[in-house]
Structure 1
């Protein structure tokens, strides 16, 4: 129904266009207003534009309202309110709960992993928030496995391995919320002796010995200041170590500290013992109290092959002879490259010859160069201080290079040195007042290694020599 005010329609009225067209259409399709003196078809422009704007607004608002309704429906339909978990639920053992293991993939975030494992989205958000004061689940790493335990459709427990020695355990509290703690893995730690006979390389010998390969790197690092495992090893050399082995459910799961080790290299015995350093922390020392650590590592790579030595040579790409001011080490792409001494990064960049390169300034006028890198370590920049052994990049073949390798150069007061012939100075030894106690400990800790065997030692067979003879009330264990 149409209303008139003093014989006219109100100017601000939204008109029902279809009704008006049915009421009085003219020959041009315009609308004439009955009894509306002074109005004609041209006067419809203003209300028509207002109606079109109104329709556009409606078309914009309606989808938003529909989307909000759908989301609200999902929220209220899937939301689970738990005010009190039944005592029977809490008293059940984990073996009676439904166990779900979820692999964490690259790019995953915790809420998605929990939902993939069967948790409700709101429950997952609550779990993450509740345990954040104990451990931030945003730090989960790909390759790990999240273990969930369900009872009556609700998450009861969660277990996440933070690292090899600790894990997060979360559980549902009596009020429906979650609690958590970080706990140590309950390993059965045993002190044992391992002997490895070397025929070609320490890497191959460790692999053939039946030991886990993670033993190779810490074992080789104990001797890296005294022996070049790429050049000095002879067939028949022997490595023996007293170490901690960590067992879980009766199976070897990890290694602990290497307490002492001996390398018989071409008939020469090199012994190293782990012992507290005067300045704090732990260090490695020879039985006479000298530190094994030197100012420079013998090599910036854990295991390599020398492909080009220091001196004059014919360049493999340029084709003419010139001085080679460094040593080239071949290694697979991605092999970590370590700083051979502590210092400050003085150069980081890329050019046509050196490729990706890093230069480090050290104390006493020394500097080291690392060329042809594939990648730089994250955060590496000029002016950054790096420590000896810190990874600064990875092996590549950038610049003038015929394959993946590292060019390692060393300078003293601006003059190049042969890195393989450097006589690196040692760091401070143990104080004299500590020597007697230290040597007594050395005698005890090396006893399993020096104990004569009844039968000849088969090649590459690890030997279990039992616990260390460290009795209570005797010399203290320095760990």
Structure 2
């Protein structure tokens, strides 16, 4: 008698991202019309339409080919680590080694086997349904910022903080509690406040407004620092990112241009330092540095001065 083995994985994404595409409409030399998400040749005129961003998946939990004792591994498409949480959704006549629920730190790329499903062979049949979630970044439960951040602003410019830590308008959740909004015109150059590896680039959002429908729809760049913290630069202009995921950048490197995308009341840069604490992205207090290297508290109404980019950037 053969055992009945059904393995199903349900996906629960705690951290997801938006990816948008363009639709190209053009006529070829034979007069035929084409509608495609692939751009035509450079000399071919085309009508371009920006399509709505949809969520993308960057972490997968997958099963190996062992039918008797299936092992599970993860694929991480981010250029940095994530924390993965796996639990039972439902099960019948099975256990796991190590037992679930479990959390795993998964580096970029494919992991080794994380756990195995162990069926009760005497039962003759088994069924298992797994669920998983992830948060970008390795867990840092006791992290305290020890770094002064270079204002991410162009040299010679002065820009005012219009919403600071615990801002009543939108800085009242874990991810944004210690964020700052810096007012500036659309198209202002934005520079890396600290060096690191570019983890995420959202570059294709177009709209803006004060309705909750715009929450999570800001163009942004996320940079991972050597101590595991991450800087987020948000509300950037459409398709102006100057970096890509996986690129290593120094402090003072041009990374993009400010905009007015997502949940906004007007053009500004939203800047925050975040960590993974308890499978949740949380913002943490930080300080800027002035031209002499002295600490500047990012308080409401403070004017920040841009400094010259570092040599080589």
TM-score bin (small chain): 0.3 to 0.5
Higher fraction of strand: 2
Relative to the length of structure 1, the TM-score reads 0.24
| Greater RCO, 1 or 2 (C-alpha within 8 Å, sep 6+) | 2
More helix by percentage: 1
Q: TM-score, normalised by structure 2?
A: 0.36
Instruction: Report the structure number with the largest CA radius of gyration.
Output: 1
